[in-house]
Amino acid sequence: MESPQHASFVTHINQRIPLIMSTPLPVLKGLSDIYPLLIIIDNILSTLLWTTDDSGTIFVNMVMICLSIRYLIIPTKLNLTEITSQYVLLDYLGLLCSSFLFCSIGYYFHTVISETRNSEPPTVDDIVMLLENVENKLHVIKKQVLNLFMIDSYKIFFQWLTLATFIQVLIFRLHFIPYIDDTKSYLILAFILSSIFHTRTCQGLLQLLWRIKAVRIAYFWWRGSNDKLYSVKRLTPLAYFNMIISDKSYITVTLTIHNTDELTKIETLRNRLIELYEQGEHSTQQTEMSTPSLTFNIIKLTVQENQRKWGGINWTGETLSYERTNFIINSPFGTIFNSDNPLNYDTTFPGNWIKLDETWNKSPWTYQDGNWGIIGSKDSPECFTRSRTWSLRIFQRKI
Amino acid sequence: MKEYFRLKYIELLDSMLNAEELLAAFNDIDSTNEEISMVEENESASNKSVWNKELLTKMASSLVNVSLTKLKNKQQQLDGKNKDGDDTKTDFVAMEELQKYIDKTTDMKPTVEDEEPFLALFLDKLISRLVPEPLPAREHILPDVVDQEVSVAILASNVHKLSERMENVFEFQDTMVRILTWRQPSTMIIILLILTKICYNPMYLILLPLLYLSLGIIIKQYNLKYFDGTHSRQSHREKIGKSLINDLFKHEPSSYTTATTTNSLNTTPQEITHGMQVVLNLRDFQNLTTSQLHMMDSLSSFLNETAAFKDERITTLLLVGLLLSCIAFKCLSPFINWSLLCSCTLWLTAIITHPKLLPRLKQLHWFQSHDKQEISTTTLTTSTIKYDVILDQPPSIRYVEIFEIYRQGLIPTTWKFFIYSKSLFNPTDEYRRAQTPPPGVKDLSQVQAPDQWLFDPNSEWEIDYNIHDWASDRNLDLSVDNEFLIDSTFKRRRLTRRVIKVLPSS
Cα–Cα distances in Å, from A291 out to A256, A257, A288, A298? 7, 7, 6, 21
Mean pLDDT score, A362-387: 90
Spatial contact of A176 and B331, defined as CB atoms under 8 Å apart? no
Spatial contact of B40 and B50, defined as CB atoms under 8 Å apart? no
The CA-based angle A27-A32-A33, given to 5 degrees, is 95
Which H or E element spans position B127? Answer: helix B118-130
* Cα distance between residue A362 and residue B30, in whole Å: 74
Reply yes or no on whether the pLDDT at B291 is more than 90. yes
Kindly state the greatest CA–CA separation across chain A: 110
Domain interval for residue B475: 397-501
Q: Quote the number of domains for chain B.
A: 1
Q: What are phi and psi of B285, to 5 degrees?
A: -60, -40
pLDDT at B8: 64
pLDDT at B380: 52
The 10 Å CB-count burial string (b at 16+, else e) for A117-146 is: eeeeebebeebbebbebbeebeeeeeeeee
* Cα distance between residue A351 and residue A396, in whole Å: 8
Q: For residue A262, what pLDDT band results from cuts at 50, 70 and 90?
A: low
Q: Could you tell me which residues of chain A have a Cβ less than 8 Å from any Cβ in chain B?
A: 2, 4-10, 12-17, 205, 207-209, 211-214, 216, 309-312, 314, 316, 318, 320, 367, 369-370, 375-382, 384
B441-460 residues touching A, CB cutoff 8 A: 441-442, 446-451, 454, 456-459
Q: Give Cα B411 to chain centroid, integer Å.
A: 68
DSSP type of residue A212 = B
pLDDT at A346: 66
Reply yes or no on whether the pLDDT at B504 is more than 90. no
Cα–Cα distances in Å, from B422 out to A237, B71, B404, B426, B452? 58, 65, 9, 12, 18
Q: Which residues of A touch B449 (CB under 8 A)?
A: 6-7
The model's pLDDT over B113-129, given as tens digits with 9 standing for 90+, comes to 445 567 777 777 777 77
In a domain, B418, yes or no: yes
* Cα distance between residue B75 and residue B11, in whole Å: 13
pLDDT at A291: 67
> Three-state SS string across B228-260, please?
CCCCCCCCCCCCCCCCHHHHHHCCCCCHHHHHH
Q: For residue A352, what pLDDT band results from cuts at 50, 70 and 90?
A: confident
Mean pLDDT score, B184-210: 91
The more confidently predicted of residues B16 and B382 is B16
Query: Considering only CA atoms, which of B397, B398, B399, B403 is closest in space to residue B463?
Result: B403
In a domain, B51, yes or no: no
* Cα distance between residue B442 and residue B369, in whole Å: 66
Interface test with A, best of B458, B499, B505 (most A CBs within 10 A): B458
Mean pLDDT score, B452-481: 84
Q: Which residues of A touch B503 (CB under 8 A)?
A: 381
Which H or E element spans position A218? Answer: helix A213-223
Q: For residue B52, what pLDDT band results from cuts at 50, 70 and 90?
A: low
* Torsion angle of the four alpha carbons A340, A346, A349, A355, in this order, in degrees rounded to the nearest 10: 90
Q: In chain A, what are the domain boundaries?
A: 26-150, 160-225, 237-397
> Amino acid letter at A79?
N
Reply yes or no on whether the pLDDT at A234 is more than 70. yes
Low-confidence winner among A97-111, B140-154, B419-433, B473-487 (lowest mean pLDDT): B140-154
Query: Considering only CA atoms, which of A292, A291, A294, A301 is closest in space to residue A273?
Result: A294
pLDDT at B318: 93
pLDDT at B4: 62
Q: Do B402 and A211 touch (CB under 8 A)?
A: no
Low-confidence winner among A131-135, B88-92, B177-181 (lowest mean pLDDT): B88-92
pLDDT at B257: 43
Question: For chain A, give me the number of helices (H) and strands (E)?
Answer: 12, 12
pLDDT at A210: 92
pLDDT at B317: 92
Reply yes or no on whether the pLDDT at B484 is more than 70. yes
Reply yes or no on whether the pLDDT at B22 is more than 70. no
Spatial contact of B55 and B26, defined as CB atoms under 8 Å apart? no
pLDDT at B113: 44
Q: Give me the residue from B392, B439, B502 closest to A5, CB to CB.
A: B439
Query: Considering only CA atoms, which of A236, A280, A291, A272 is closest in space to residue A356?
Result: A272
pLDDT at B33: 47
Q: For residue B9, what pLDDT band results from cuts at 50, 70 and 90?
A: low
When computed from its CA atoms, the radius of gyration of chain B, rounded to whole angstroms, is 40
pLDDT at B231: 63
Which H or E element spans position A6? Answer: strand A5-6
Q: Which residues of A touch B425 (CB under 8 A)?
A: none
Which H or E element spans position A162? Answer: helix A154-168
The more confidently predicted of residues A226 and B41 is A226
pLDDT at A350: 73
pLDDT at B95: 60
The model's pLDDT over B222-260, given as tens digits with 9 standing for 90+, comes to 988 887 766 666 667 777 888 888 888 877 765 444 444
Low-confidence winner among A232-246, B343-357, B479-493 (lowest mean pLDDT): A232-246
Ordered DSSP codes for B416-467: EEEEEESS---TT-HHHHTTSPPSEESSGGGEEPPTTEEE-TT---EE---H
Strand B484-486, strand A354-355: pairing: unpaired
Q: Which residues of B touch A213 (CB under 8 A)?
A: 387-390
Low-confidence winner among A35-49, A67-81, A357-371 (lowest mean pLDDT): A67-81
CB burial of residue A169 (10 Å; 0-12, 13-18, 19+): exposed
Reply yes or no on whether the pLDDT at A76 is more than 60. no
pLDDT at A280: 67
Mean pLDDT of chain A: 81
Q: What are phi and psi of A388, to 5 degrees?
A: -155, 165
Q: Give me the residue from A5, A207, A214 closest to B441, CB to CB.
A: A5
Q: Give the percent of chain B with pLDDT over 70.
A: 71
* Torsion angle of the four alpha carbons A120, A124, A130, A133, in this order, in degrees rounded to the nearest 10: -160
A318: nearest CA partner in chain B: B387
Q: Give me the residue from A6, A213, A378 closest to B457, CB to CB.
A: A378
* Cα distance between residue B246 and residue B185, in whole Å: 6
Cα–Cα distances in Å, from B485 out to B419, B474, B488, B490? 15, 12, 10, 9
Mean pLDDT score, A70-96: 74
3-class secondary-structure state, position A310: strand
Cα–Cα distances in Å, from A188 out to A97, A150, A179, B107, B206? 15, 25, 11, 75, 39
Q: Give the percent of chain A with pLDDT over 90.
A: 17
Q: Report the range out of A109-113, A331-335, B161-165, B487-491 with the highest average pLDDT.
A: A109-113
Mean pLDDT of chain B: 76
The model's pLDDT over A163-207, given as tens digits with 9 standing for 90+, comes to 889 888 887 777 777 677 777 888 888 889 888 888 888 989 999
Q: Report the range out of A244-258, A328-342, B68-82 with the highest average pLDDT.
A: A328-342
Q: Give Cα B220 to chain centroid, integer Å.
A: 44
pLDDT at B40: 43
* Cα distance between residue A305 and residue A387, in whole Å: 5
Q: Which residues of B touch A214 (CB under 8 A)?
A: 388
Low-confidence winner among A152-161, B223-232, B279-288, B364-373 (lowest mean pLDDT): B223-232
Go through chain B and tell me how many residues it has.
Answer: 506
B448: nearest CA partner in chain A: A6
> Amino acid letter at A42?
D
Cα–Cα distances in Å, from A129 out to A28, A31, A132, B40, B399? 14, 12, 5, 44, 24
* Cα distance between residue B193 and residue A346, in whole Å: 74
* Cα distance between residue A289 and residue A140, in whole Å: 72
Q: Do B402 and A8 touch (CB under 8 A)?
A: yes
Low-confidence winner among A146-155, A259-268, A304-313, A319-328 (lowest mean pLDDT): A259-268
pLDDT at B343: 93
* Cα distance between residue A35 and residue A31, in whole Å: 6
The more confidently predicted of residues A145 and A103 is A103
pLDDT at B30: 47
The model's pLDDT over B383-418, given as tens digits with 9 standing for 90+, comes to 577 888 888 888 899 999 999 999 888 887 888 898
Q: Do B389 and A211 touch (CB under 8 A)?
A: yes
Q: Do B401 and A314 touch (CB under 8 A)?
A: no
pLDDT at A83: 63
Ordered DSSP codes for A140-160: HHHHHHHHHH---SHHHHHHH
Cα–Cα distances in Å, from B281 out to B167, B194, B273, B485? 6, 32, 12, 79
pLDDT at A307: 92
Reply yes or no on whether the pLDDT at B376 is more than 70. no
> Amino acid letter at B248?
L
Kindly state the greatest CA–CA separation across chain B: 126
Q: Give me the residue from A17, A380, A384 closest to B458, CB to CB.
A: A380
pLDDT at B198: 92
In a domain, B482, yes or no: yes
Cβ of residue B387 closer than 8 Å to a chain A Cβ: yes
- Measure in Å the smallest separation between the Cα of B378 and chain A Cα atoms: 24
B303-332 residues touching A, CB cutoff 8 A: 312-313, 316, 319-320
Reply yes or no on whether the pLDDT at B46 is more than 50. no
Reply yes or no on whether the pLDDT at B322 is more than 60. yes
